[in-house]
Amino acid sequence: MASGANFKLGVSLTFNNTDFWTNYISYETKFAQQYNATLIGPLVATNDAAKQITDIHTLIQEGAQALIVNPVDSAAIAPALDFAASKHVPVVSVDVAPSSGKVFMIVRADNVLYGQSSCEFIAKHATGSGHIAILEGDLASLNGKDRTDGCNQVIKSKYPNFKTVEYATKWDTPTAVNDAKTALSTYSDLKGIYVEWGAPEDGILAAEQAAGKFTPVGSPSHIVLVGNDGVPHEHALIRSNKLDGTISQPANSYAQYAVFYARAALEGKTYSAGQSTDHNSKIVSLQGNLEDALLAPVVDKTNVDDPNLWGNAKSNA
């Protein structure tokens, strides 16, 4: 493809019903214009791996020259990636990495580090000893598995006074809130809750209040609550001393570099592991593919007003 030429870019997402993905889609529209891409979609699989494979076939039939895919299931996406390759349609995987199949680039941050940073934060801010509840995403997604693994690694290796207990929520908010209620009633020594995405936080806080266990951040009996996304609403919860922290998963950078690499693939550009980028990240190797490992800082009371955090961008205010 000629440099600067317009191209058709198909988009297949798992969800579009959370603050993170709503923001991602708006950023993607903006960056598509910047990189001269005409978007087809997004087609949304609503957490159905089989539907996503159909969606990818549909996007290619509709003339997509490149694809951005957010995999429902890291392993189940492989046949769709093989189909795209057979049609010479390059794929950029965003937010979730495939565990098999080839993509041109994965645009994602280090999700093991998310889990490590989140649970280290809980352990450092909680008092004494006790249980930490992990409200997991979907373990069929590399993200859910990585976040859980990272949390368990750091607690087992550095904070043996705490014990983790895992709840499989499959990214479902009502399930996560119910699991939080179970943890609150089961463990009198519950010291922290790590919820692997931001949507359930309001429900978890309501459950704590209903159980008479909510106290503001910094109180001696406070149950440390850490989420993941960095959406504007989480920043508001941090400012009001309800949420201790979150990971700023950069929706703006995810969208920008997903479109950027789709265009780069069509222009014949190449990348290699170990390469530094112009946006303070590194290209790394992940399960046979390349990943642009974007930065994703912890957000708490000390830095919640940082204007560089995407959740504080004027378009989200």
What values do phi and psi take at 310, rounded to 5? -60, -30
Q: What is the pTM of this model?
A: 0.86
**What is residue 230's DSSP assignment?**
-
pLDDT of residue 314: 56
Q: What are the chain's domains? A: 7-110+249-295 (3.40.50.2300), 111-247 (3.40.50.2300)
Splitting the chain (317 residues) into consecutive groups of 10 residues, what average pLDDT does each group show? 86 93 95 97 96 98 98 96 98 95 96 95 96 93 91 98 97 97 98 96 98 96 96 97 97 97 97 95 94 94 95 65
What tokens appear for 15 in the block? 């969800």
- CA 212/CA 196 separation, integer angstroms: 24
**Pairwise CA distance, residues 51 & 217, whole Å:** 42
CA distance 214 to 130: 17
Query: Rounded distance, CA 172 to CA 197, Å?
Result: 10
pLDDT at 192: 98
312 contacts: CB under 8 Å, gap ≥ 6: 232, 235, 305, 306
> Which residues, listed in sequence order, are joined to residue 290 by a DSSP beta bridge?
285
Both tokens of residue 101?
A: 């199949």
Tell me which DSSP letter residue 276 carries.
B
Handedness of CA 8, 271, 71, 30 (dihedral sign): negative
State residue 317's pLDDT score: 37
Question: CA nearest 271: which of 289, 288, 283, 253?
Answer: 283
**Predicted confidence (pLDDT) per residue in 18-60, tens digit:** 889 999 999 999 999 999 999 999 999 999 999 999 999 999 9
Q: In the block, which residue shows the tokens 């889609």? A: 25
